[in-house]
Structure 1
């Protein structure tokens, strides 16, 4: 029963961490795109081309490896828990 509790609360905690890291990473990427547009097109902050540029960049981000690597937030702790439990039970 303790393992089930660990699994449920651990999953909830990791989900919160995943959401926070994902939102942060998306906001950093969006900010970089906005800065790059501002450097390339000074004074052009409200044009439809800017929105298209940013949305295209975010679509590329959504299919990037970086976004998929954030899923390691779930994998690494799971591997650590399994490794620790094996080490503790074998020795």
Structure 2
């Protein structure tokens, strides 16, 4: 089972992480585990339905989750274009 860093996901949804940390967290928690942004979306769905995390940091709205996924993808694409002249594919549903 993949490790989910809920602190990272909650801070990302609340716009509390600088771009560099978003990229390093994504590389550590997703790329290094063979996962992608689609998996991040499923992780958000899982923690959104867990009352322990909802009570801890307020309700995660679909808008907050969508913004977190979009921002992650934009930062990842910027990194991929600069370093490898490629970007994420459109078949990753966010």
* TM-score normalised according to structure 1 size: 0.33
Larger relative contact order (C-alpha < 8 A, sep ≥ 6)? 1
* TM-score normalised according to structure 2 size: 0.32
